[in-house]
């Protein structure tokens, strides 16, 4: 009376299901993508160099700002001594 009723087990299909294979598209012009590898590498290298230069400028700006704050505090505190 209080036992749960189990669902019926579905029957498996008798025909095997074959997955469809997709083919990759090949450029129709017959040209390979190898000549673009040099251009992509150059863009990546230029991006890395510009990022490094930007980081150097940022670090320099922070150090100059810190030096300015230290000098200002030294000069403002000199008459009080």
Please state, in angstroms and rounded to a whole number, the distance separating the CA atoms of residues 40 and 34: 10
Please state the three-class secondary structure of 24-63 as a single string: CCCCCCCCCCCHHHHHHHHHHHHHHHHHHHHHHHHHHHHH
pLDDT value of position 11: 74
pLDDT value of position 2: 75
Could you state, in chain order, the average pLDDT of each consecutive group of 10 residues for the chain (81 residues)? 75 69 66 78 95 97 96 82 57
**CA distances (Å), origin 14, targets 18, 60, 79:** 13, 73, 98
pLDDT value of position 26: 60
Please state, in angstroms and rounded to a whole number, the distance separating the CA atoms of residues 51 and 43: 12
pTM of the model: 0.49
């Amino acid at each position: 009376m209080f036992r749960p009723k189990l669902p019926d087990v579905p029957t498996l299909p008798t025909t095997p299901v074959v997955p469809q294979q997709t083919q990759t598209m090949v450029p129709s012009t017959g040209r390979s993508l190898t000549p673009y590898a040099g251009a992509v590498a150059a863009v990546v290298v230029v991006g890395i160099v510009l990022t490094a230069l930007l980081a150097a400028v940022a670090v320099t700006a922070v150090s100059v700002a810190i030096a300015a704050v230290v000098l200002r505090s030294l000069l403002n505190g000199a008459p009080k001594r």
